[in-house]
Structure 1
């Protein structure tokens, strides 16, 4: 993991995390079945991380350039209600999220991996990227995960934010408490 000197301070302000999909929540590959259906691999550790940051009160959203039923289904599983599909220019979706949730730029983290993400990443307070993001995105990010997209990068970024805010112990406590574990979609 590589992070800027001010990454921890910037992470302390985050209240909302926005994710790109291809190359962030997936490995960027698009798999086609025999009958032409598309498939994408999602990482369950990323999913658990998303659910746990939601349990800690963070808002979450997806903005992706592709329209995909698979993404809608995965978002529903993870209880991500703000899902913007087919947004090649992601700025209007970002503006809508800020307005709907009363957010300032410094309260938002965005995880992106490619040139299509740069416009929003320039605006947010906490831009972050997987290890295999393009050079321009990595250079703009205050945190670059040690893991690649679709391989745990999102979880790593979420853990960094939660630890910076002193909330990671709450997450671990939920899994070590004697009560039944709840709110654990992966």
Structure 2
């Protein structure tokens, strides 16, 4: 059953998404960076977001992470979630998004992109669906097709994944699969 909180034209566009590309800091994490005394960095990731990514991938929607920082923790998280398309240390994200779309045989209209700051702005603007989070500066959200209710690092990605699953018509089957008794 489609999510009725979105206008019909946006729902139609959501149903065609075949790649979800995400920024990391401020989207998959809350944007804060924690540095240890040895100089190492730590981040927190929400388990709801991870489950949403796995659910989306299970129905054939690819997921990519495109981030400005280079972090071993992000590589570990991507590997744990089975995210094959990880691009770190990227200053200009739109060229990477275009190249990845081309490699996967997709049009940008089939791509949803979620970001929260200036390096994400061109990708938000040019993707089939540009998404931002409420913790982003207002001038970023002004260019998005949709701003999630949940902030980055606190289930925003899960909100996106659930909405895409509903728009694609995969939601009821996903619930049914998880309602089954495994025994």
Q: Report the TM-score, using the length of structure 2 for normalisation.
A: 0.93
SS across alignment from 1:18:
strand
- Equivalence for 1:52: 55
- Equivalence for 1:121: 124
* Matched residue count: 179
> Which ranges of structure 2 fall in alignment gaps of 5 or more residues?
none
- Between the aligned partners of 2:144 and 2:57, the Cα distance in structure 1 is 23
- Equivalence for 1:173: 176
- Equivalence for 2:14: 11
For the 8 Å contact 2:18–2:111, the answer to whether it is kept is yes
- Equivalence for 2:84: 81
- Between the aligned partners of 2:44 and 2:23, the Cα distance in structure 1 is 14
- Between the aligned partners of 2:8 and 2:102, the Cα distance in structure 1 is 30
For the 8 Å contact 1:130–1:154, the answer to whether it is kept is no
- Equivalence for 2:75: 72
Moved over 4 A (4+): 2-5
1:20 to 11, 23, 27: 23
The CA deviation at 1:3 is: 5.4
Please tell me the root mean square deviation across aligned C-alpha atoms, in Å.
1.5
Aligned ranges for residues 115-154 of structure 1 at < 5 Å?
A: 115-154=118-157
- Between the aligned partners of 2:141 and 2:166, the Cα distance in structure 1 is 22
The CA deviation at 1:112 is: 0.6
SS across alignment from 2:176:
helix
